[in-house]
Amino acid sequence: MIQNWIIAGATGGLGSAIARELADHGCSLSVLATEKSREVLEQNARDLGIRSGEEVKTKVFDALKTDDWSALIDEMRPNPKEPFGVIWAAGVLSPQKDLQNDLTRAQHDHQLNYVAAMQFLEAAVAQMKPLDEGHVVALGSPAGDRGRRSNYFYGASKAALHTYIEGLQHRLATSAIRVTLVKPGPTRTRMTAGIQKPLMSDPKQQAKRIVQAIRDGKPLIYTPPIWWPVMCIVRHLPRFIFYRLDF
Amino acid sequence: MTSWHQETIAGWGRSRVSVTHAGDPRRVEELPDYVAERKHLVARGLGRSYGDASLNTGQAVVRMESVDRAVEFDREQGRIVCEAGMSLDDLITITLPSGWFPAVTPGTRYVSVGGCIASDVHGKNHHVAGTFSQHVNWVELLTADGSIVRCSAEDNADLFHATAGGMGLTGIIVRACLQLQKVDSSYLMVRRERTLTLQDTMRALVEGDREWDATVAWLDGVAPETRMGRGEVILGRHIGRDELPERLAYNPFRSLDEPLVDLPVDMPFSMVHRSVVRAFNQFRFSRIQEGDSFENVRQFYYPLDVAQGWNRLYGPHGFHQYQFVIGDDDAESLIGDLLYRFHRSGLVASLVVLKRFGAESGWLSFPKPGWTLAVDTPSNMRLFELLEEFDERIVADGGRIYLAKDSRLAPDRFRRMYPEYANKWLDVKRKYDPECRFSSDLSRRLRIDDDVLGDGA
């Protein structure tokens, strides 16, 4: 497995759990988060450093105002001779109703969930090319598998990410750069705080499964795995049934 | 910026749900805002206390799950400074590869450090190591006025003694410095003995305590009347690399395995039926492998952690764990009686654990010399009637009930069981929290709030 990782969105529920899991495996980390999470990022970095025994690089960034993604990655990556991996774990889940009523906000969400992710990953791949080694990981969502009235704005951004990753995988199929798309089911994090649903997963367990998938170099995983058959059914439900369901 | 959500939570026993405002701070520095925004609140770690200690119905709980970082780890001295929400699971992941293990650990590693201090938990090594807080170098506590006070057995000692075992009622534990124990591998030498009667079991434990660091007995709570008290005595001690067989010695600090099973949904009814427990116990009893073997810390200390959410097996009404300690003289007759009465009343004692305690420590800490018995039973009314009777016998014999497991003890009996409550603890509580800002369902049930605020307040 790749030993050096850059994690964007490293203070989120899943992002921080993945960072910890990688640190517990002794990986060297560079972590990125937004300005409002600056203190959390610094404190997390200290914890990660104790876990991994390696210095942790931190940086505050604004995904919507970054022009030079290549420079950002250049700053966070280890020296040019060492291969590295990147994980896009940033994202925002706003209530569907709010987005329907405020398209500027919908635009903002899409820019973060998809456009910024695409720019970050694309810039990373460009820097991996000279060594022809590396690993690209993005957090998608089962919500992107079929549009539903309860969250199709969020779903659409994740569907775009899915298609982008598919294309990237096709392009890199003959290289040694691995690409992994993770689709986590509902996880108990701040993103979902206050939503009380059964079957919420624990972020730590999710992170363990995700890191295992990264180690195995899997192209696509649903976590927990039950979401693969569930979404397979949801995707193929005939419309006359699907429209009668309220979810 | 604070973040509150109305949520329904429960203790580990799940016999009662509680609607509360739950706060989710991310950093220690945010905590004063959370305290300022609510009149009454209590900290909640990983929700492993069985009863109502971490519930605050209609009021607020502050979840410490995200305030769980390592702050400093001294690999030479075996001292770790961490935030209170850190789980022992995480702690062990960090420290065990360097040869350090918690000096005291309860029977699950999914507990928070803050919770371990607030309940002053004990482990299988209580007879040699004492309680968790005896290995705490210092604690940083957020008190009612919003300031963070560092206390230890030397500095602000009154606050330290009131906080260890204080059920979170003196403030919010935010950070702690722990002294760990040196281990030379993640394995123990374990001896298991099959015992046929209660007398037998108790004798084996007394003998085991002389030579072994970690001792405990599992009892078959649904055994036939003539075999009441039969079970398995488990003895262990940490061993070094040189004592390990070759197949283990090549990787002496092998890490903990992950949970094998996860029960993610509530069962619609209790799976813990007498016939199931009887079959399971019969199977377990007949399979006891007597003699010595090597076991990983995980197998030895945390046998139940292989199944996440096992408490859901008990269905919608949950279960109750009755844990008490009783002096040596009365122990055998009382424990024998209790098992007999459970059997006669048709109650299913699904898990029964017996252990002998060492010296007493702390003010509201549970352990004191004698025997402790913990009995898990699906909740029902008959059980609570029976336990009333045993409460009275226990208090009369100078024993006490473990608050971290409790949800039903009467206020007057609590005061008789814990004499230091009135002598010392209450004065410290009044000094640091005169308005009783830190309160919980437990503190109201035991009328601690009334004592602090004065009657009629």
pLDDT tens digits for range A137-188: 999 999 999 999 999 999 999 999 999 999 999 999 999 999 999 999 999 8
**3-state secondary structure (DSSP) of residue B3:** coil
Confidence of residue B263 (pLDDT cuts 50, 70, 90): confident
Cβ–Cβ of A50/B266 closer than 8 Å?
A: no
Taking an 8 Å cut-off on Cβ atoms, the answer to whether A50 and B8 are in contact is: no
Q: Closest chain B residue to A200 measured between Cα atoms?
A: B264
Q: Residue A43 and residue B7: Cβ atoms within 8 Å?
A: no
Q: Of A47, A48, A197, A200, which to mutate for an interface test with B (greatest number of B Cβ within 10 Å)?
A: A47
Q: What torsion, rounded to 10 degrees, do the Cα atoms B3, B8, B11, B12 define? A: -100
Does pLDDT of B36 surpass 90? yes
Lowest-pLDDT range, A55-64, A233-242, B241-250, B352-361? B241-250
Kindly state the tokens that stand for B218.
Answer: 């599992």
Q: What is the pTM of this model?
A: 0.95
Query: Which range is most confident: A195-204, B167-176, B305-314?
Result: B167-176
With beta carbons under 8 A apart, name residues in chain A contacting B27.
39-40, 43
Chain B neighbours among A 3-22 (CB < 8 Å)?
Answer: 11, 20
pLDDT at position B264: 73
Q: Which of B7, B69, B259 sits opposite A46 (nearest CB)?
A: B69
Q: For residue A205, list chain B residues with Cβ-Cβ distance below 8 A.
A: 259, 262, 308
> Residues B140-159: pLDDT tens digits?
999 999 999 999 999 999 99
CA distances, B157 to each of A38, A119, B113, B432 (Å): 36, 56, 19, 13
The verdict on A198 touching B (C-beta cutoff 8 Å) is yes
Q: What is the pLDDT of residue B260?
A: 67
Query: What is the pLDDT confidence band of residue B274, given thresholds at 50, 70 and 90?
Result: very high
> So what's the pLDDT on residue B349?
95
> What end-to-end distance do the CA atoms of chain A give, in Å?
38
List CB contacts (< 8 A) between B73 and chain A. Answer: 50
* pLDDT for position B365: 98
Residue B130 pLDDT exceeds 60: yes
pLDDT tens string A76-121: 999 899 999 999 999 999 999 999 999 999 999 999 999 999 999 9
The alpha-carbon gap from A61 to the nearest alpha carbon of chain B, in Å, equals 19
pLDDT band at B268 (very low <50, low <70, confident <90, very high): confident
> Mean pLDDT of all residues in chain B?
95
**A126 CB within 8 Å of a chain B CB:** no
Is B7 in contact with A47 (Cβ distance < 8 A)?
A: no
Q: What pLDDT, on a 0 to 100 scale, did the predictor assign at position B356? A: 97
Cα–Cα distances (Å) from A168 to A121, A135, A172, A181, in that order, read 9, 12, 6, 11
Q: Which residues of B touch A194 (CB under 8 A)?
A: 5-7
Angle among Cα A39, A205, B280 to the nearest 5 degrees reads 140
The residue of chain B with its CA nearest to that of A47 is B70
Chain B CB within 8 Å of residue A46 CB:
yes
Report the distance separating Cα A43 and Cα A48, nearest Å. 9
Q: How many angstroms separate the CA atoms of B445 and B279, rounded? A: 38
**Distance between CA atoms of A59 and A75, rounded to whole angstroms?**
9
What pLDDT band is residue B368 in, cutting at 50, 70 and 90? very high
Question: Residue B47: pLDDT above 50?
Answer: yes
B85 pLDDT exceeds 90? yes
pLDDT at B457: 45
Q: How far is A193 from chain B (nearest CA, A)?
A: 7
Q: How confident is the model at residue B178 (pLDDT cuts 50, 70, 90)?
A: very high
pLDDT in tens, A22-64: 999 999 999 999 999 999 999 999 999 999 999 999 999 999 9
Give me the mean pLDDT over the B223-241 stretch. Answer: 94
Q: For the beta carbon of residue A176, count every other beta carbon within 10 angstroms.
A: 12
Distance separating alpha carbons of residues A227 and A221, to the nearest angstrom = 9
Question: In this model, does residue B308 exceed pLDDT 90?
Answer: no
C-beta of residue B404 within 8 angstroms of C-beta of residue B133: no
Q: Could you say which of A24, A39, A50 has the minimum Cβ distance to residue B73?
A: A50
pLDDT band at A199 (very low <50, low <70, confident <90, very high): confident
Res B262 pLDDT > 80:
no
pLDDT at B256: 66
- The encoded tokens of residue B204 equal 């084996």
Q: By CA distance, what is A13's nearest residue in B? A: B66
Is A190 part of the contact surface with chain B (CB cutoff 8 Å)?
A: yes
